[in-house]
Structure 1
């Protein structure tokens, strides 16, 4: 296996809409710069909460799959790859007895699927959840663990395997903002220090793409959602802090870092020196 000449970014997340918040602008950025972007989604969000009053959906997984495809078009990336697990849900919607719910699946089994995908896609860069799964969702934690394991267990592949693993990174300030919106996060636990951020992507140019991607997830962004209940001031804060910049920390690397912080996700990777110039 040799790496494709085209820079390839593999983004691995758990549910439809995970891609729109922390990495959407980055995905659009690299797609526009000629990169190949592959989005892997573990589930179809079957156990999500419909946030549009009066809305009924016969098959929520099918509905959210369509929403994710629409979001991908908004982000200018190809259709997602589904790993075909089930959404574990949260609170009263938790699917304790579903053997395919991600919370009930061995991370080693998920790793096997991801290893096969990595061998097929041959990415230089992988992006996934941080060690706290953003806000502690069990499915996010499962994908963090499995993706991290797959990165480290594919270094034997011809070409050396993926060269960099990045985690989405909430700064303390961003974690405080999310906490105020209802997730009740301890910023000193769920956030990271500024010195931990390895890459700060200025994605203001793709704000329209991110907003369109969020809007595509209509069942999750209705009037009773966190977004729908925001005051004008909170929405302005979100658009400034969460839509304008996307932060990443280093999860693993097989190459030396040319500088810190890095200019972008491909900075220092041989053959792609101009991608983050």
Structure 2
């Protein structure tokens, strides 16, 4: 079974974005490694921090609890500072992940790939889903690290299906659930729409059997109350629809999204290294 390294910007990103694939891969026997680029120090500060406890301390504990819920074998931290949201002065602070040369950070990440002899590595699409500076930097650093690794791994980019999200948005509006309505075609942090059009996505992955583990991973990050509570408060059927599938781009793959499991294959870099679901055809 392959060794898969998931590379995320902040603690809690793994729970909302790739938790289903991580849990499924671990359950099927893969070694799953989780790497965080930053410490998440610019996240939401909870009211119950103890004496001498810093937000970074809490978020590291939360990340380890999330990893345990998902079956992760190892957690690593690159140790860069959180760059904050788009336009914050922290974007350009010394040590902020966004300001680091991607090759320099890529060398640190490649060293983890090499130690793990990684078969597959996972980051984000080229605009980080919604343009967050650290998410965009994850994309750059992931590809730099893949090029620098001794044995070049397959690269997958986690993304969101813009067309599917649009359908959720329209259904929420029609049902009068304005509080659940999120327009993916509106400009995000970088001025681009949310996620990726379905025509540019390679894989749709069924992770519906792992919704309970995703919930536990999200619950582990309770310090980030606003975002986490919002996700956990979704009606059961909405939560299942939103988190029961995940989407990935495989650079260099033939066009057309297929439903399958791209984490079955080892080194090779081709779509055929994955596994299509029975009866499914590329479309």
Q: Which residue of 2 aligns with 1:209?
A: 213
Query: TM-score, normalised to structure 2's length?
Result: 0.78
Range with bigger deviation, 181-190 or 116-125? 181-190
| Residue 260 of structure 1, CA deviation | 6.3
| Residue 62 of structure 1, CA deviation | 0.9
Counting matched residue pairs gives: 257
Query: TM-score, normalised to structure 1's length?
Result: 0.80
Return 5+ residue gaps in structure 1 as ranges.
Answer: 1-5
- Alignment partners' CA distance in 1, 2:89 and 2:222: 21
Note the 1:19-38 alignment, pairs <5 A: 19-38=14-33
Return 5+ residue gaps in structure 2 as ranges.
Answer: 170-177, 187-191, 278-283
With over 3 angstroms needed to count, the CA separation of the structure-2 counterparts of 1:252 and 1:37, relative to structure 1, is: farther
Q: Which residue of 1 aligns with 2:152?
A: 161
Q: Which residue of 1 aligns with 2:160?
A: 170
**What do residues 147-198 of structure 1 show as CA deviations (whole Å, max 9, x unaligned)?**
01222343xx3xx421x21111211145445897687653673332223222
Q: Which residue of 1 aligns with 2:280?
A: none
- Alignment partners' CA distance in 2, 1:214 and 1:43: 18
Task: Please give the root-mean-square deviation of Cα atoms over the aligned residues, in Å.
Answer: 3.2
- Alignment partners' CA distance in 1, 2:159 and 2:206: 14
Q: Which residue of 1 aligns with 2:246?
A: 246
Q: Which residue of 2 aligns with 1:261?
A: 258
- Alignment partners' CA distance in 2, 1:117 and 1:146: 13
Secondary structure of the structure 2 residue equivalent to 1:45:
coil
- Alignment partners' CA distance in 2, 1:260 and 1:193: 10
With over 3 angstroms needed to count, the CA separation of the structure-2 counterparts of 1:260 and 1:270, relative to structure 1, is: farther
With over 3 angstroms needed to count, the CA separation of the structure-2 counterparts of 1:180 and 1:138, relative to structure 1, is: farther
| Residue 136 of structure 1, CA deviation | 1.1
Matched, 1:115 2:105: no
